[in-house]
Amino acid sequence: MVTTRFTGTLRRFTAPSRLASALTVVCAMTVLIGVVGTASANAATLPVSLGTAADFAVLAGSTVTNTGPTTINGDLGLSPGTAVTGFPPGQVNGAVHAADGDALQAKNDLTAAYDDAAARPTTATVPVELGGTTKTPGVYDSPAGTFGITGTLTLDAAGDPNAVFIFKAASTLITASASGVNLINGARSSNVFWVVGSSATLGTYSILRGNVLALASITVTTGVTVDGRTLARTAAVTLDTDTITPSASVQQPASTTTSLTSSVNPTPVNQPVTFTAAVAASTGTAIPTGLVAFTDRSTLIAVVTLDSTGHAVFTTSSLAVDLHLIRAVYIGANGFLGSESPTIFELVQTS
């Protein structure tokens, strides 16, 4: 904080001296405004240094357990535990450090980073549910001490590639199936930090951007994409057919749009209906890749891989007699932001 103090002697002024005094006050106020402006500009949130932990895509305290063909694009570390299981079928495109000096140093650096981030002064207290909101750079917490993401959270750097976002959850971070985090206007996943006082759980086929720093465990359920790191201080990191890639690129991902059509509506019960999602990049000619999740209200009903034309097709004859709210959620991939389709109100009726 910069404090400017004005001192002086009160005296009687003649008219000319009053004018001189007024000019002096104007000049002093101009200086004060400049000082305050400089202090505000310097108040931007600083990034959290991960030290040697930045080399790791996955780092844990007790165990690292994997199921399925998970891909880790970076180092995997464990300390003081020694049990790393599930590789193969999982693949580590980096080094594996189990209870060695590198892992110990990374854990020490993770502890320092966690303590640093957790101690940052909060700039805004916001509701637990982050999905469906847009956040600007700052340090966030919630009244309940937890955070959840259902749908899409957008982080807007307002053109500043050095913008930092810190989310402090005193207990848990839980993301829903097919949820996502979008980065816009220069935001970078390397400058997003999720500080979790207990454990983090990432829902199936969700996409999370940023560095998860958890005091206890991190559970990454089936089909999750992490554009960042999963770093657990004391407990386990559990994986299942996931992709984890620490961000090193400043290239802005392309935004996308997702549309959804139904082959027939209304639909007779027990008869097939086909839903087709089409995902397109908002700029350029590149065709998005990755997964599309189909949901009925809040229930995940299918996950389909985009084909070479950017389409995902799902056919079902299992919808019960009811009004179904069908939505397609493109969860994003490297180079492409996620997007959601408008809802289709699919009526299934008796024959």
Q: How confident is the model at residue 337 (pLDDT cuts 50, 70, 90)?
A: confident
Specify if 208 maps to a domain.
yes
User: Please, is 99 exposed, middle or buried when counting C-beta atoms within 10 Å of its C-beta (0-12, 13-18, 19+)?
Assistant: middle
Q: Are residues 57 and 204 in the same domain?
A: yes
What 3-state DSSP class applies to 186? coil
Query: What is the domain-level CATH number for residue 300?
Result: 2.60.40.10
Q: 28-46, pLDDT tens digit by residue?
A: 333 333 333 333 333 578 8
How far lies 319's CA from each of 177, 205, 290, 297, in Å? Answer: 20, 22, 26, 13
Question: How many domains is the chain partitioned into structurally?
Answer: 2
DSSP 8-state assignment for residue 266: S
Give the closest residue to 60 by CA, choosing from 249, 214, 193, 286: 214
Give pTM, 2 decimals: 0.76
Give me the domain span that covers residue 334.
256-349
In a domain, 222, yes or no: yes
Q: Kindly state whether residues 72 and 92 are assigned to the same domain.
A: yes
Residue 216 and residue 275 in one domain: no
Based on the fold, state whether residues 121 and 71 are members of the same structural domain. Answer: yes
Model confidence over 122-176: pLDDT tens digits?
999 999 999 999 999 999 999 999 999 999 999 999 999 899 999 999 999 999 9
In a domain, 202, yes or no: yes
304 and 170 within one domain: no
Query: Per-residue pLDDT tens for 73-122?
Result: 999 999 999 999 999 999 999 999 999 999 999 999 999 999 999 999 99
Residue 279 lies in a domain: yes
| In a domain? residue 8 | no
Alpha-carbon gap, residue 198 to 237, rounded angstroms: 13
How far apart, in whole angstroms, are the C-alpha atoms of residue 214 and residue 174? Answer: 12
pLDDT tens-digit readout, 279-321: 999 887 889 999 999 999 989 999 999 999 999 999 999 999 9
186 with 306, same domain? Answer: no
Residue 236 is classified by DSSP as -
In the chain, the amino acid numbered 273 is V
Q: Are residues 217 and 93 in the same domain?
A: yes
**Mean pLDDT, the chain, integer:** 88
